[in-house]
């Protein structure tokens, strides 16, 4: 089970590490056991009442400095915030409100994470109240007067904090791989679901989806659990009241959003249709991992070259998904259906994967030394300062450059390919975010 994350944000010297040490005590940093992961941030286990969580100190955040390393700290804070269920913004009550606090507050207000404002170094109760009051103007709600050294005031803050953590029973779901079976009507989604269930005897239980738009089934294979999200089963009943097109597309969109990996089912007899392209566009927009399941392979007359011809034709239409794995199956005869979940494992792993900043920068350095960024007609050359992965699912890498406009599509595709080739992100989209100096 993955514990929810609490991010501690604030200027240098406000008492962040003192606060984190107080909460986490001498408990060791959390070491993630997924292969290939060494994080740049340290997560310490902590708890309050009956809730366990992990707390991460994001480093001193400063906005008004030109030093080269500051964007990196900021990026780390941003990355921590993306994962966090709640943020604690720590300020120094003895020092009073600063311009830096205002800047951080403004930045935090633009994030979607709930923020609790804690005014530290308020040892004396009466004075503390007065010190804390000054911070109301940050517009982040009630300032909690605390002392990280003495522990006073932290109880109330933590009582509030745990109300923002996701319910404990929701977190268990994280161990499942959520797989949506998506495709136009009649491509064979129900048949495929049945074939998958037939292959994997240990069905846990059919679960009615959180919405009535899909029927979820959980299956177990080895030590892995998969939640299959099927949109086909209830289609016909709903069609009575609403247009078929509206519902099938809309329900598919919802299922895509809930999934980690999409089994994108395509009828080999029809090829890639306009409707398929519409679904593909949505899958891309949502950043999901994809397996192209080309169904009804039994119905095709074939010789040795046929698969490659079909593959070429399909990938030409779905060129923007060139990274997706592709498999030709027959849901009817069961041909190759048993291979699908292996592909799901690979795609789900890539989709969740985190790569350290140092590895990313090694790849970048190598890439730039083989092929330097383009130079504009005015002789200005693009420069990449460094890159860092800011989030996963899908893997998203921020690249800090002198000016994003200096990197044309060709060069961007080159860098994208380098990340794929060197880091092996199989079956998942990878987002590159090009950021300029400002
Ligand atoms: P960080 O840079 O935000 O991690 O800050 P530190 O935790 O290193 O603390 C900076 C300084 O503030 C240290 O000298 C701490 O001893 C002091 N400090 C931290 N918490 C408190 C507090 O609750 N009261 C007082 N008076 N000083 C504190
Ligand atoms: P759904 O609407 O996407 O759920 O599609 P169904 O699973 O209901 O299948 C639609 C039609 O395609 C049915 O007549 C199936 O028998 C047929 N079908 C499904 N899979 C295959 C396959 O692998 N080969 C062939 N030849 N027909 C299939």
Q: Does any ligand 2 atom lie closer than 6 A to the CB of residue 269?
A: no
Is 197 a residue whose pLDDT tops 90? no
Q: Does any ligand 1 atom lie closer than 6 A to the CB of residue 71?
A: no
Q: Are 361 and 422 in contact, with CB atoms under 8 Å apart?
A: no
Each residue of 301-320: pLDDT tens digit?
999 899 999 999 999 999 99
| pTM for the model | 0.61
Q: Which listed ligand is nearest to 332 at the C-alpha?
A: 2
Q: Does any ligand 1 atom lie closer than 6 A to the CB of residue 152?
A: no
CA distance readout (Å), 61 to 86, 212, 264, 299? 17, 45, 43, 61
Q: Which atom of ligand 1 is nearest to the CA of 18?
A: 7
Helices and strands (H and E) in the chain: how many = 14, 16
Q: Which atom of ligand 2 is nearest to the CA of 335?
A: 23
Q: Is 11 annotated as a binding residue?
A: yes
Higher-scoring residue by pLDDT: 65, 433: 433
- Mean residue pLDDT of the chain comes to 83
Predicted local distance difference test score (pLDDT) of residue 319: 93
Q: Which atom of ligand 2 is nearest to the CA of 329?
A: 23
pLDDT level of residue 73 (50, 70, 90 thresholds): low
Q: Is 59 annotated as a binding residue?
A: yes
Predicted local distance difference test score (pLDDT) of residue 111: 81
Q: Does any ligand 1 atom lie closer than 6 A to the CB of residue 124?
A: no
Predicted local distance difference test score (pLDDT) of residue 240: 45
Is 135 a residue whose pLDDT tops 90? yes
Predicted local distance difference test score (pLDDT) of residue 293: 98
Q: Is 233 annotated as a binding residue?
A: yes
Q: Measuring from atom 27 of ligand 1, which residue has the nearest CA?
A: 121
Is 428 a residue whose pLDDT tops 80? yes
Q: Which atom of ligand 2 is nearest to the CA of 265?
A: 3
Q: Which residues lie closer than 8 Å to 18 by C-beta, 6 or more apart?
A: 120, 148, 149
Predicted local distance difference test score (pLDDT) of residue 170: 52
Q: Measuring from atom 25 of ligand 2, which residue has the nearest CA?
A: 296
Mean pLDDT of all residues in 234-238:
43
Using most ligand atoms within 8 A of CB, pick from 181, 184, 186 the residue to mutate for ligand 2: 186
Q: Does any ligand 1 atom lie closer than 6 A to the CB of residue 18?
A: yes
Which range is least confidently modeled, 11-20, 110-119, 226-235?
A: 226-235
Each residue of 239-289: pLDDT tens digit?
444 454 455 677 788 889 889 999 999 999 999 999 999 999 999 999 999
Is 152 a residue whose pLDDT tops 80? yes
Each residue of 319-351: pLDDT tens digit?
999 999 999 999 999 999 999 999 999 999 999
Angle at 189 between CA 343 and CA 245, to 5 degrees: 125
The alpha carbons of the chain give a radius of gyration, in whole angstroms, of 25
Q: Which listed ligand is nearest to 120 at the C-alpha?
A: 1
Q: Which listed ligand is nearest to 231 at the C-alpha?
A: 2
DSSP-derived secondary structure letter, 404: G
Which range is least confidently modeled, 6-15, 18-27, 140-149?
A: 18-27
Q: How far apart are CA 151 and CA 140, in angstroms?
A: 22
Predicted local distance difference test score (pLDDT) of residue 219: 83
Q: How far apart are CA 184 and CA 195, in angstroms?
A: 18
Determine the 3-state secondary structure of 139 from DSSP. coil
Q: How far apart are CA 403 and CA 381, in angstroms?
A: 9
Q: Does any ligand 2 atom lie closer than 6 A to the CB of residue 330?
A: yes
CA of 330 to the centre of ligand 2 (A): 9
Q: Considering only CA atoms, which of 256, 264, 399 is closest in space to residue 321?
A: 264
Predicted local distance difference test score (pLDDT) of residue 365: 94
Q: Does any ligand 1 atom lie closer than 6 A to the CB of residue 233?
A: no
Each residue of 124-133: pLDDT tens digit?
867 777 888 8
Predicted local distance difference test score (pLDDT) of residue 192: 92
Q: Are 113 and 142 in contact, with CB atoms under 8 Å apart?
A: no
């Amino acid at each position: 089970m993955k514990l929810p994350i609490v991010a501690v944000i604030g200027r240098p010297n406000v008492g962040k590490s003192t606060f984190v040490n107080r909460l986490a005590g001498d408990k060791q940093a959390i070491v993630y056991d997924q292969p290939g992961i060494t994080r740049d941030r340290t997560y310490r286990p902590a708890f309050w009442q009956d809730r366990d969580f992990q707390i991460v100190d994001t480093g001193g955040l400063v906005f008004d400095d030109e030093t080269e390393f500051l964007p990196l700290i900021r990026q780390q804070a941003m990355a921590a915030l993306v994962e966090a269920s709640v943020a604690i913004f720590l300020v120094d009550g003895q020092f009073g409100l600063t311009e830096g606090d205002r800047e951080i507050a403004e930045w935090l207000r633009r994030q979607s994470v709930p923020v609790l404002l804690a005014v530290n170094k308020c040892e004396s109760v009466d004075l503390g109240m007065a010190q804390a009051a000054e911070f109301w103007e940050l517009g982040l709600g009630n300032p909690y007067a605390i002392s990280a050294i003495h522990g006073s005031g932290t109880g109330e803050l933590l009582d509030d904090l745990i109300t923002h953590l996701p319910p404990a029973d929701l977190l268990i779901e994280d161990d499942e791989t959520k797989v949506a079976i998506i495709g136009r009507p009649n491509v064979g989604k129900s048949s495929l679901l049945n074939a998958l269930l037939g292959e994997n005897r240990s069905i846990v239980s059919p679960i009615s989806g959180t919405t009535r738009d899909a029927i979820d089934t959980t299956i177990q294979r080895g030590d892995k659990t998969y939640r299959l999200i099927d949109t086909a089963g209830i289609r016909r009943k709903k069609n009575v009241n609403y247009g078929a097109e509206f519902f099938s597309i809309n329900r598919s969109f919802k299922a895509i959003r809930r999934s980690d990996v999409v089994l994108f089912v395509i009828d080999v007899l029809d090829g890639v249709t306009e409707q398929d392209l519409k679904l593909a566009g949505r899958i891309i927009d949502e950043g999901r991992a994809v397996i192209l399941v080309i169904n009804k392979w039994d119905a095709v007359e074939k010789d040795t070259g046929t698969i490659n011809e079909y593959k070429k034709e399909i990938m030409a239409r779905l060129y923007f998904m060139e990274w997706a794995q592709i498999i030709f199956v027959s849901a009817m005869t069961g041909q190759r259906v048993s291979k699908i979940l292996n592909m799901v494992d690979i795609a789900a792993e890539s989709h969740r994967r985190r790569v350290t900043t140092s590895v990313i920068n090694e790849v970048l350095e190598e890439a730039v030394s083989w092929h330097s960024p383009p130079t504009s007609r005015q002789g200005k050359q693009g420069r990449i300062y460094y890159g860092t992965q800011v989030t996963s699912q899908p893997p998203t890498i921020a690249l800090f450059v002198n000016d994003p406009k200096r990197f044309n599509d060709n060069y961007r595709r080159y860098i994208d390919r380098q990340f794929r080739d060197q880091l092996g992100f199989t079956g998942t989209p990878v987002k590159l975010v090009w950021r300029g100096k400002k």
